[in-house]
Structure 1
């Protein structure tokens, strides 16, 4: 028997006017002639994003959802080089603590998945520098919430840059340039185009990084389609983590747009995965990457009730026997 928790990404479609990703472009920032006034507007936007994050977390708690991915866009322009002296943490200290207290008191699992421009294996020094700067932002936000940053940031391996083997070795080289406190945050995910499960496991095992298995990505892009042959290695990558093993679940939009995410999760596809891994691990947290966000989670919970080997625990978790 395995305990399964479901989570979803960033936006709720059930909580009105609750975007946690409101932003301001650099262009609009520069249009405000008074820099102090522009910074005050950035801070208002950030506090609004954190307020909406708390609203979503309250919605999650009311619906038994204990697993949630926060947006990486909570603080607009936080890494903008034109604002080197902006102390955004001072402006949002109370808001961060409020979010963090709610998460900790309800024993929720939250994490981040920084955007595609965060590239540890980039051959460009300035890209690596910005990558580290962005990851430091995530670490500061988690620490400001009172949440242990360890294993809270999902990344892809990065780009191939014309040579897959060299790109993997550059990741290892650049990893040594990343501060230890940032290294500890990272968990790596197999992707749907460039670095398959075998590539990602190679890095995870070499560098001691947990692997987030994306089932949809694996079906779309693999060296060996039999992912279950590697399942013990995936589990072992989490052995040093204080968090349960994590995976991503989504379904293809269509045969022609196979890599794109569907609005909802195909329950049969999900059950195919669960029936393979049941009993191999006590608990697994499954992040739903579907267009309909929390609606997809609620539908999946309804769909899964039809299976005899499922025992519902609450509104967002169950046991598979």
Structure 2
């Protein structure tokens, strides 16, 4: 087994393509195939299922990928420690759910880069469940999410207290409701736009409403969307109300495009978390970034 074989296999898994992996590593596709065949023969396992359209890991291949990433991670850590030229090209790969990716990471990453020069970030965005899956599949080392999973393989660090608010169209009907001091229970019965099922925002809002005896099944749901910006624009056009992060809503509120309802005695809050796999070998730079993020908003 050679490191170049593991690197070829890992790149195929990450890009789901032999040809794209070959391009990324500047080698030929037959060489990529030969490296993977050599690994399969050495370990007497099938690593990949390959069709004309996709490449997928087998169960054994998924486990093998985890070990490969650990080994390649150790190599990268050695480069960081001993190779001064390599230090000029340091890279941190992370995944983030919507709120962290769009509103939190753009504050933290530049601040970290000011203290640590020549750091390149790669950020993949999805909902919280997507991020958790990426961590468990060893595709990224660090994730930022709005909900916790019960999987014991994961470690979570709370780093930001996110306040959720109800936003409404800036229309006469809703201005009268808010001026009339309506209750949250009354307002939430208006037509509502929800986030997608894997969203941490949606889960936090549902827990909050259920705790106040609001039957989620009776909500007048007019749409489900996976993008916070589309939801804000839809609310501003009068489609309905929504529950979202106050941090995400403020720009539209300040521009007068939507209204904000923030009950004084019933705050809707949730923690945002840094997440990583307990068995993942984090390099020194990744550990430094996690420590920086965990203290950034304190």
| TM class, shorter-length | under 0.3
* Structure showing the higher helix proportion among its residues: 2
**Which structure is larger by alpha-carbon Rg, 1 or 2?**
2
TM-score by length of 1: 0.27
TM-score by length of 2: 0.28
